[in-house]
């Protein structure tokens, strides 16, 4: 683990804070390997992480077939032919067993196997049928409208690699191989708490100087979208003994533990004292906004994240630190956050020496350019700034601002937020 006080750490910036990239590097180096493997039906495999390479035992498509309704001919022999004798009709699932002769054509439907010797399909739209004779208008290119056996997936090749998060289109691809079930990594169990006596559960009158708990709901939604099983352990009261027992119990039933609140300088130290007694946890100041305070370590050998209390800071730190940690633990080892460049529609303020994550809205403007603007007020307690956004605007630590018209990196929310 890193030095909890950060003393004499050359990786800290001049303000004594840990850069985002260094913090993430330290976290990923401490994580356990992927969980166990289980077999699940193909229909239940969406959003699970594939645990083993899937090789195809068949060609996809299995046969060379027609890509559209039309007439199959032997172009190489019949290039100069003006009309053809239609000798058969082949529907999808059927076949014409005889070999086509010079001057012959077979009427063929989309997906039907190509007759022996046929190499080209003429669309029905450019065909003129008179009795059993067909002729064509327009130019004909050899091999047109033919799908070759194995052109999608060749027998013996890897159709989908281990570590892939299975998307709906991948289910279709795997179904085309005849697979009925898949080996996937077990879903992670994540325990979540909120902390603080000022935090109140929904369904009761709000006492003076208190706030309703929002962070557990945001975290629960994020975790579910990632495919985790959420263990919601409610609100931890500000009592060290109670906290220690709750954290110890959570480590026995979860693969990861996440709390929100209680990790900032000057906050009540119940959670810090409890963590010191039941785990190995470092408290870091990260050079970012929002979300500077962060705790990371282990309780009972299970990774622990102590996130800030402000609702936007919770979500931003989750996206930057917890999300990549969970994806690595799930076995999704090749995942990287999507970062693209957009043109700023307005001046975006930041501060040198930290990475700023403003909430933004990106769009394609009238000139076809990808542009971005902020959602307005960027306070770490303004949760509507996340609701109204479709991306985070990432302003790296060397910059104090991005002027209108300059380019800036954005992180689209994509399928998680």
Mean pLDDT along residues 337-359: 92
CA distances from 263 to 142, 164, 295 (A): 69, 34, 7
DSSP codes, 50-114: B-S-EE-SS-BSSS-EESSSEEEE-HHHHTT-SEEEEEEEE-TT----SBPPTTEEEEE-TTPBP
Q: What is the pLDDT of residues 225-246, one digit of tens each?
A: 999 999 999 888 778 888 899 9
| Residue 173 pLDDT exceeds 80 | yes
CA distances from 289 to 116, 310, 357, 363 (A): 67, 11, 6, 24
| Domains in the chain, CATH or no CATH each | 20-35+187-330 (3.40.980.10), 37-59+151-185 (3.90.105.10), 65-147 (2.170.190.11), 340-412 (2.40.340.10)
Angle at 374 between CA 323 and CA 370, to 5 degrees: 85
Q: What is the pTM of this model?
A: 0.86
Q: Are 321 and 24 in contact (CB under 8 A)?
A: yes
Which pLDDT belongs to residue 7?
40
Q: Are 230 and 254 in contact (CB under 8 A)?
A: no
Q: Are 348 and 395 in contact (CB under 8 A)?
A: yes
Which pLDDT belongs to residue 79?
62
| Residue 263 pLDDT exceeds 80 | no
Query: How far is the C-alpha of 333 from the C-alpha of 164, rounded, in Å?
Result: 8
| Residue 2 pLDDT exceeds 50 | no
Query: How far is the C-alpha of 125 from the C-alpha of 346, rounded, in Å?
Result: 52
- Given pLDDT bands bounded at 50, 70 and 90, which one contains residue 349? confident
pLDDT > 70: what percent of the chain?
A: 94
Contacts of 398 (CB under 8 A, 6+ apart): 352
- Given pLDDT bands bounded at 50, 70 and 90, which one contains residue 269? low
Report the 10 Å Cβ neighbour count for 3: 12
Mean pLDDT of the residues in the chain? 89
More confident residue, 339 or 414: 339
Query: How far is the C-alpha of 115 from the C-alpha of 194, rounded, in Å?
Result: 67
How far out from the chain centre does Cα 386 lie?
A: 18
Mean pLDDT along residues 20-34: 93
């Amino acid at each position: 683990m890193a030095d909890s006080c950060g003393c004499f750490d050359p990786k800290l910036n001049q303000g004594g804070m840990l850069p985002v990239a260094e913090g993430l590097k330290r976290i990923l180096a401490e994580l356990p390997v992927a969980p166990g493997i289980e077999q699940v039906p193909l229909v239940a495999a969406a959003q699970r992480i594939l645990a083993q390479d899937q090789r195809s035992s068949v060609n996809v498509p299995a046969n060379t077939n027609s890509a559209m309704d039309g007439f199959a001919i032997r172009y190489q022999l019949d290039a100069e032919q003006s009309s053809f004798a239609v000798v058969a009709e082949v529907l999808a699932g059927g076949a014409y067993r005889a070999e086509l002769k010079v001057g012959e054509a077979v009427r063929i439907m989309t997906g039907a196997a190509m007759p022996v010797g046929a190499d080209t399909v003429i669309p029905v739209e450019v065909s003129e049928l008179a009795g059993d004779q067909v002729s064509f208008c327009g130019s004909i290119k050899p091999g047109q409208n033919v799908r070759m056996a194995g052109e999608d997936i060749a027998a013996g090749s890897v159709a989908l690699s281990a570590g892939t998060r299975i998307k709906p289109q991948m289910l279709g691809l795997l179904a085309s191989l005849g697979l009925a079930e898949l080996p996937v990594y077990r879903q992670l169990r994540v325990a979540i708490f909120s902390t603080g006596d000022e935090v109140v559960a929904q369904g009761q009158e709000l006492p003076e100087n208190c706030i309703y708990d929002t962070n557990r709901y945001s975290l629960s939604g994020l975790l579910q979208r990632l495919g985790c099983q959420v263990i919601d352990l409610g609100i931890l009261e500000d009592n060290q003994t109670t906290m220690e027992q709750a954290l110890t119990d959570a480590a026995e039933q979860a693969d990861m533990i996440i709390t929100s609140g209680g990790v900032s300088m000057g906050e009540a130290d119940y959670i810090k004292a409890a963590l010191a007694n039941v785990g190995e946890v470092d408290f870091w100041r990260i050079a970012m906004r929002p979300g500077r305070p962060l705790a990371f370590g282990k309780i009972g050998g299970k990774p622990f994240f102590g996130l800030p209390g402000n609702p936007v800071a919770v979500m931003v730190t989750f996206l930057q630190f917890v999300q990549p940690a969970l994806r690595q633990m799930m076995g999704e080892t090749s995942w990287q956050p999507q970062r693209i460049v957009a043109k700023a529609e307005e001046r975006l303020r930041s501060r040198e020496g930290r990475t700023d994550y403003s909430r933004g809205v990106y769009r394609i403007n009238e000139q076809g350019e990808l542009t971005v603007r902020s959602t307005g007020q960027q306070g770490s307690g303004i949760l509507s700034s996340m609701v109204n956004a479709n991306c985070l605007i990432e302003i790296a630590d060397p910059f104090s601002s991005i002027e209108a018209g300059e380019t800036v990196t954005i992180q689209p929310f994509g399928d998680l937020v």
